């Protein structure tokens, strides 16, 4: 008799610019997965519910100030403090949806104006990625791509620190760079046009999820690392 084993869950990151519809799509997706008999849970980053998350929240709402490097490391620490729970959830067979992950972490910091210093630049993509090395790597990164034009048609920004047009434009370019040629995780990205209706986008997101699940099924059961 063979020992029954639970196949691991998939780690699915949802990324995109502000107003691309990430949170709406994550909620729909969670319902669809669960009603399809696929156990799934949602983990949002930053996770503002932890002690580190509280510090991040006061930074984002401009209640406190921190230098660019410190806040960057706190965003990363906020993922590390969830690492064990992410891994045990996956091992128990539950799929995890990540509403933002290390990719937002990299581009939002790298988009900040840099002080003129000698290389290595402390806000380069390479520097920004370093503290996340070793975290669980998503099986697929679903990127909700929205044009500047479509984003502008949607409800306006809130008043958090990064919700400004110039910042968003830099973030857009850096996401492109991250997804592009030369990126060693190029194959992990699943880019969809998020300019359509909620239902249209949800269908495309679902295709990405099925691809993520397929990759897990064909893999060796191990969770890869960043
Ligand atoms: P939400 O609006 O989704 O709560 O994000 N951010 C996010 C970073 O600068 N670094 C990170 O590591 C993460 C996960 C993106 C709040 C803002 O925080 C930014 C927008
Ligand atoms: Mg926001």
Nearest protein Cα to ligand 1, atom 12: 105
CA of 104 to the centre of ligand 1 (A): 6
Predicted model pTM = 0.94
Ligand 1, CB within 6 Å, residue ranges: 45-46, 60, 75, 100, 104-105, 108, 162
Angle at CA 47, nearest 5°, toward 155 and 171? 50
Q: Which ligand is nearest to the CA of 100?
A: 1
pLDDT greater at residue 147 or residue 181: 147
Question: What pLDDT digit, counting tens, does each position of 159-186 carry?
Answer: 899 999 899 999 999 999 999 977 778 8
CA of 176 to the centre of ligand 2 (A): 20
Question: What pLDDT digit, counting tens, does each position of 92-134 carry?
Answer: 999 999 999 999 999 999 999 877 666 667 789 999 999 999 9
Q: Which ligand is nearest to the CA of 175?
A: 1
Question: What pLDDT digit, counting tens, does each position of 47-74 carry?
Answer: 999 999 999 999 999 999 999 999 999 9
Residue 62 phi/psi, 5-degree rounding, is 60, 25
Model pLDDT, residue 119: 64
Q: What are the tokens at 104? A: 């937002």
Q: What is the mean pLDDT of the chain?
A: 93
Which ligand 1 atom minimizes the distance to the CA of 46? 14
Angle of helix 102-110 relative to helix 165-179, nearest 10 degrees, comes to 120
DSSP label at 225? B
Model pLDDT, residue 152: 80
Round to whole Å and give the CA distance between 11 and 68: 28
Which ligand 1 atom minimizes the distance to the CA of 100? 14
Which ligand 1 atom minimizes the distance to the CA of 75? 12
Residue 95 phi/psi, 5-degree rounding, is -80, 140
Nearest protein Cα to ligand 1, atom 13: 105
């Amino acid at each position: 008799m063979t020992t029954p084993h639970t196949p691991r869950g998939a780690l699915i990151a949802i990324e995109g610019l502000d107003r691309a519809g990430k949170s709406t799509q994550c909620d729909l997706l969670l319902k669809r997965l669960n009603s399809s008999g696929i156990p799934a849970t949602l983990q949002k980053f930053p996770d503002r519910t932890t002690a580190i998350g509280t510090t991040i929240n006061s930074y984002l709402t401009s209640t406190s100030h921190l230098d660019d490097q410190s806040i960057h490391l706190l965003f990363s620490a906020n993922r590390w403090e969830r690492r064990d729970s992410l891994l045990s959830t996956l091992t128990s067979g539950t799929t995890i949806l990540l509403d933002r992950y290390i990719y937002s972490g990299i581009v939002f910091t790298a988009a900040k104006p840099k002080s003129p210093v000698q290389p290595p630049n402390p806000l380069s993509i390479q520097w920004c990625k370093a503290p996340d090395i070793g975290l669980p790597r998503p099986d697929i990164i679903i990127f909700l791509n929205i044009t500047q034009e479509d984003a502008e048609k949607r409800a306006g920004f809130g008043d958090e620190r990064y919700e400004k047009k110039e910042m968003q434009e830099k973030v857009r370019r850096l996401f492109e760079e991250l997804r592009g040629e030369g990126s060693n995780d190029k194959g992990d990205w699943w880019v969809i046009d998020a300019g359509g209706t909620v239902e249209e986008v949800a269908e495309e997101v679902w295709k990405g999820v099925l691809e993520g699940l397929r990759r897990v099924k064909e893999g060796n059961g191990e969770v890869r690392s960043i």
